[in-house]
Amino acid sequence: MRQTIPVILASASPRRREILTMLGVDFTVEVSDTEETTGETEPGRIVSELAACKAEAVASRHSSEDFLVIGSDTIVWKDGKMLGKPADCKAAEAMLSDLSGDTNSVYTGVCLIMKRNGKVHRETFYERADVAFAPMSDEEIRWYVSTGEPMDKAGAYAVQGLGGRFITGIYGDFYTVVGLPMCGLYNRMRNLGVLTEQ
């Protein structure tokens, strides 16, 4: 595949960087530093709005050259509420106890802002994947929290890390759970002509 314009990732997430690298995209990283707040209450709208805020903050820094900015946001959703990053070990244990033996949903929103030949194109989408957890014992939960992995993760787990041993099934795109839906992003970048076979 050939890349036709520069790509900017509006995220400091190492997982999102890895996914773009797997796509064969040459990109730079610019963190948006925008305040992540929204008045939306539906999970798909929440991640879409936050992804757009990040992408727009970075795109506003570039006025003359052609570019594609990718903004993204991911949340974990269960029983009608958002599960953020745990405040401390006790919060992480409580969160994992709630997830144990049940299914939660992960929503990732993506906003693409492309400027090419003086024209600006904006496109936002989100994808959902459901993650099923095996029952976890109190000892397993305490052990997992003691590794430190849950502490900076929404929902207090990393499906691609040590937390993967407790996952019995993922229904949807695995990379949506990691933080950037690879197939959906690839297809849109092809449709926009950012990635081409020529």
CATH of the domain at 192: 3.90.950.10
Would you state the pLDDT for residue 149?
Answer: 96
Token pair belonging to 60? 């506003």
Contact 184/121 with Cβ under 8 angstroms? no
- For residue range 30-69, what is the model confidence (pLDDT) as tens digits? 998 877 778 888 999 999 999 999 999 999 998 778 999 9
Q: What angle do CA 26, 31, 34 make, to 5 degrees?
A: 145
Number of domains the chain contains:
1
Segment 169-177 shows an average pLDDT of: 96
Structural domain span for residue 128: 2-196
Rounded to whole angstroms, how far apart are CA atoms 13 and 60?
A: 21
In the residue annotation, 152 being an active-site residue is answered as no
Rounded to whole angstroms, how far apart are CA atoms 131 and 179?
A: 14
Catalytic residue among 26, 33, 73, 138: 73
Axis crossing angle, helix 89-99 with helix 138-146, rounded to the nearest 10 = 130
